[in-house]
Amino acid sequence: MNNQPDAPQSTDAGASGDIQAGRYYGRGIPYLPIAGYPGKLIAIEGTDGVGRSTQIQLLREWLEVKGYGVVETGWTRSPLMQPTIELAKSSNTLNKLTFVLLYATDFADRMEKEIIPALKAGFVVLSDRYIFTALARAGVRGVDRLWLRNLYGFGIAPHLVFYLNVDVKTLIARVLAARGMDFWESGMDLKVGDDIYDSFRAYQSKLLKEYASMADEFHFRVVDARRSIDKIQDELRKQVAAFLEPEATLKSEG
Amino acid sequence: MTFSLLHATDFADRLLYKIIPPLKAGMIVLADRYAYTAFARDATRGVDRQWVRELYSFAVRPDLALYFRVPIDMSVDRLMARRVKLKFYEAGMDLGWSSNPVESFRLFQGKVLDEYDRLVDEFGLEVVSAVGSITEQQRVVRALVSQQLQINHVEIPDEQPA
């Protein structure tokens, strides 16, 4: 609570890049111990319209052909929260704090019901966006960064985090060609102006900056997403293979 | 976790719409349950104690927090006397400790009361014995509230009419 004189100042209990992959970032979920689970968690991060879902689709097919069990999970896709989040977005009552907490609830539901059971059963979990999306969006909106990292202390540090990096100019061209700009992706709730193009540009530039600073903090594997779909996929597969089958990869290269 | 986070979302919404505006206007806000309920209930459900405290660090610290304490047996007796149908989550049925709602309520709420006892010292809650009559309790409450109002010199700001 505010003004609490003896509040423990914990700076070491939240999400950070120093946590070993496959462990909880912070205080975790005490009733769900995860040590020793055989599954692997791979997060694909990147801003709106950068091509994440296409890459995940291709990665999934390739992994399944190789004989891996694959589970996909994605932002706001929990059956518990998706309708609530859609409803809340369509009204004008959301503020940045409730926004953050709704996303966190969705993520917690997917952690307990999808991600942890899949890791326990030895699946490769492909996560379309991960906590970094929440950290970036809320960070841009001025939510306290330490509080956010403590909040997501129940998240699991992924084995691999790929960050599909793009510049704002390329992004604008792609989004306009594909489907146009949308209210939330343009950060119109921040009310920087009425013009959706200007708002999109300003908001996405800020988001990209947040991601860039997290790339160091959380050791992202940065992938240049301005290239063709195939080139990007090749790079992802190479890195995933090197991680999942280090010996096979060495042999084929040697 | 989702139980804890959904309640926190609801709390954040009420804090920003129902609690902070009247406080800014110099009014007195009476909150029926506060973050302490979450601390006690979520910890009993196995959520990390410190994590819940950090989660709620956006809350305003109350000027006065009253904790109405009653032994678990009396709590159960009172509810039964009114033939209240125990709610699923209130009875902690989600934890699967007992298939009998009354027994589950006793086990779960008993643990919740233990958590509240921790909070009394940690957050300086004023304990009001809820064993006595309503009149007796109200006398204690009024004394505590009056004392608090005097300390804080609560006055309704007298604005000059334009």
pLDDT for the residue A36: 92
pLDDT for the residue B112: 96
B38 and B74 assigned to the same domain: no
Question: What does the block give as tokens for B111?
Answer: 């643990």
B52 and B95 assigned to the same domain: no
pLDDT tens sequence for chain B (162 residues): 999 999 999 999 999 999 999 999 999 999 999 999 999 999 999 999 999 999 999 999 999 999 999 999 999 998 888 877 889 998 999 999 999 999 999 999 999 999 999 999 999 999 999 999 999 999 999 999 999 988 776 565 566 665
pLDDT for the residue A204: 93
CB A174 within 8 A of CB A44: no
B32 and B91 assigned to the same domain: no
Q: Do B51 and A154 touch (CB under 8 A)?
A: yes
B52 and B84 assigned to the same domain: no
Give the range of the structural domain holding residue B23, as residue numbers without chain letter.
Answer: 1-61
Question: Is the pLDDT score of A4 beyond 60?
Answer: no
Q: Considering its fold, how many domains does chain B have in total? A: 2
pLDDT tens, A107-139? 999 999 999 999 999 999 999 999 999 999 999
pLDDT tens, A19-55? 899 999 999 999 999 999 999 999 999 988 888 999 9
Residue A192 sits at the chain B interface (C-beta within 8 Å): no
User: Nearest-CA residue of chain B relative to A94?
Assistant: B13
B47 and B102 assigned to the same domain: no
B73 and B147 assigned to the same domain: yes
Whether B120 is in a domain gets the answer: yes
State the number of CA atoms in the 13 A half-sphere of A65 facing the CB.
8
Rounded distance between C-alpha atoms, residue A96 and residue A75, angstroms: 17
Give the DSSP H or E segment for A164.
strand A160-165
Mean pLDDT for chain A? 89
In words, the CATH class of domain A40-230 is alpha beta
What count of CB pairs under 8 Å joins A to B?
80
B41 and B78 assigned to the same domain: no
Question: Is the pLDDT score of A5 beyond 50?
Answer: no
CATH number at residue B88: 3.40.50.300
CB A59 within 8 A of CB B84: no
B43 and B84 assigned to the same domain: no
Rounded distance between C-alpha atoms, residue B112 and residue B43, angstroms: 8
B98 and B41 assigned to the same domain: no
Q: Do B12 and A111 touch (CB under 8 A)?
A: no
The domain ranges of chain A are 40-230
Question: What does the block give as tokens for A135?
Answer: 């950290």
B86 and B51 assigned to the same domain: no
Whether B162 is in a domain gets the answer: no
Whether B161 is in a domain gets the answer: no
B132 and B53 assigned to the same domain: no
Q: Do B57 and A112 touch (CB under 8 A)?
A: no
Assign 3-state DSSP to chain A and report helix, strand, coil percentages, each to 5: 50, 10, 40
Residue A205 sits at the chain B interface (C-beta within 8 Å): no
ipTM given for this complex: 0.79
